[in-house]
Structure 1
Amino acid sequence: MYSVNYHRATSVADAAKKIKSGDAKYLAGGMTLIPAMKTRLAAPSDLVDLNHIADLKGIKVSGKNVTIGAATTHFDVANDEKLKKVCPALSHLASHIGDPAVRHRGTIGGSVANNDPAADYPSALLALGATIVTNKRQIAADKFFKGLFETALKDDEIVTAVTFTAPARSGYAKFPNPASRYAMTGVFVTKGKDGVRAAVTGAGDDGVFRSKEIEAALTRKFEASALEGVTVPSGSLMGDIHATPEYRANLVVVMAKRAVMAANA
């Protein structure tokens, strides 16, 4: 490690003020930033710790309307009883992120702001038609995720919460990398008053995306059988040492089937 100035923010306004000093970075759970600093892939001059801002933590459920504070941990998302009742798929997703140490430390806001192409939450928020709330504005998920590790956030913006209306049905399934537990391919599906949405993570060479092929098939019939014979183009999918684009294209359909089965269970 190298010399870095540490700041403990006491409020969102205080954090926004401190971020303007040098090449500063916000620190949430640190599950991505700290390893990047250890390997010198990131070298911020200052770290602004958001973990002690009470207003950024907690889950509120009012009917079908859900608000999750950005500093809420994966563990809390996985185990909140009210959230489990209205959107069990999101709790299920959170329960399979990383390992217990990661789930107790990592936060939903940190994951969303980082937008790792293999992270789980981006697919959920995209499929849920969620809104990402910052200290300055509200951004629809469809416009928030811009590409690999890229979002609509400005340099001085802080994700403060995510909000969504729970759909009638939702499900998530992923094929995890056995070492990292990141999604080699994950699919989150929803069926609500605005129709069917299906978002894919871990497979796109430009990050999370919605699958028109999956959505069209499930709009006709929201059952796994509706996906028989459906194919997803592999031209824009990721290829690496773990899987070819063609293999991931097949996994998208397989995971979508499992996600629909979970939604209908």
Structure 2
Amino acid sequence: MLYQYRCWLRLQLRSYFLIPLFGINFSLTLLFDNIKHHRHQSFRKTENMTTLFLDIGNSHIKLAEKQGVKWEVVFKASNGSLEGLTEVVEQYPDINLMVVCSVREDVLNKILDVLNFIDVKVLTSSLIDSVSLDYETPDTLGMDRFLTCYGAVSVTDHDVICVDAGTACTVDWMTNEGIYRGGVIMPGLKLFHEMMERKLPELPSVDYYIPTQWPGKSTKQSVQWGTSGGYLVVINGFIRKYLEIIEGETDLFLTGGDSLYLSENLDSSLKVHHRPHLLFDGMEMFWKDLERLD
């Protein structure tokens, strides 16, 4: 864009200085008016360009666009099928960038091959300032864990505990100064159920439900307590362990596919924020901060 602007400016200068000297005031006024108009048009065009955000998770990919203050998911599919992704992206002729967060390198490589006609920026842990990480193996840190917390601290002045309830469930901590302190990776709610059904086929299959009776008074209730109930008990236990070492005020953020289930069933004294698109918030904020540094 800068190179094109300079070329245009040189052409304008050449043409205007060919105007006879007696018309110099008029020609210079016209020149600067045109420069101002051209710059305004260029900046307006840049501002109107579209940036899309792609989340490549363990099971699904989601493509989203920011509409005002809200996120709109414009494409979602399982990781095994990328059919239709190119067609959706091509509906944005003004797209200038796609920002990607991925936990699946195999799927990422396929997408990079498919979308080789646009500019793609992949957010990785190597982009994180070392002072923002209290983590011994940053090269193995899932960028989604960091970005989820990054999105949370952008909307509160407190430390945050972020529960991302997806295929895998993560329970992570970031300070109000933006320092990622680490966390927990555990099976998600669906995996809790699938492991029981696969390894213990004689037991009844149950839905995501916590019985009102404790302890379970039937085999079905006992399995429900061991799956859905156990999932909640474990997460509550991790939250309590964090609160034993966090000194200041703390907010709890819930996101991911099973976050609504958590928001309806978790027993927490903390201020709870249910934000289904928290990862996209973090991706956008992190990318903007990188651009400011550049």
Larger radius of gyration: 2
After TM superposition, the score normalised by the length of structure 1 is: 0.29
Whichever structure has more helix as a proportion of its residues is 2
